[in-house]
Amino acid sequence: MTKKKRGIGELLSALIIIGITIIAGIVVYNVLFTRMNTIGYTAGISIQYSTIANDQAFITVKNTGTYTLTSISVTIYYNGQSVGTGSYSGNINPGQTVAISPISLSASGYTYQPGQTFTVYVTATYSGGQVSTSVTVIGV
């Protein structure tokens, strides 16, 4: 008679495989769930309204992303020189619009004339960084 070598039982090995599968599934779920939560978030802004008249700028900015913005800064340039700045501090929720105006165009040595072309540069800050956009405006 030969001796049979004994290993772990079939039931015990099945339970070990099921346990490993469950643990692996939990790990994969947690990794994917964490990444999927951040994939759906975006930061975005758009300049809804911008006009420059009589040495003043009127700017309206909309939060087009899914993050809540914490501040907005506006810089207005004429011929590469900053001629005016404005800002807004406070939470700007997704879809919300804020007005940053009037912004006085009073840089030293600058004289406003209707018909001049300006670049309006807007930067918004949110928990993950910054987003910016710009637009060209002709003064009236």
How far is residue 102's CA from residue 98's CA, in Å, rounded to a whole number? 12
Nearest partner of 95 among 126, 71, 132, 64, judged by Cα = 64
Determine how β-strand 97-104 pairs with β-strand 129-138. unpaired
The pLDDT tens digits along the chain (140 residues) read 566 666 667 888 888 899 999 999 998 888 877 666 556 678 889 999 999 998 899 999 999 998 999 999 999 999 989 999 999 999 999 999 999 878 888 766 788 888 999 999 999 999 889 999 999 998 98
How far is residue 133's CA from residue 61's CA, in Å, rounded to a whole number? 10
Edge-to-edge, what's the strand order for the sheet holding 69-78? 81-92, 69-78, 117-126, 129-138
Q: Does domain 45-138 have CATH number 3.20.20.70?
A: no
Rounded to two decimals, the pTM is 0.69
Domain-wise residue ranges, the chain? 9-40, 45-138
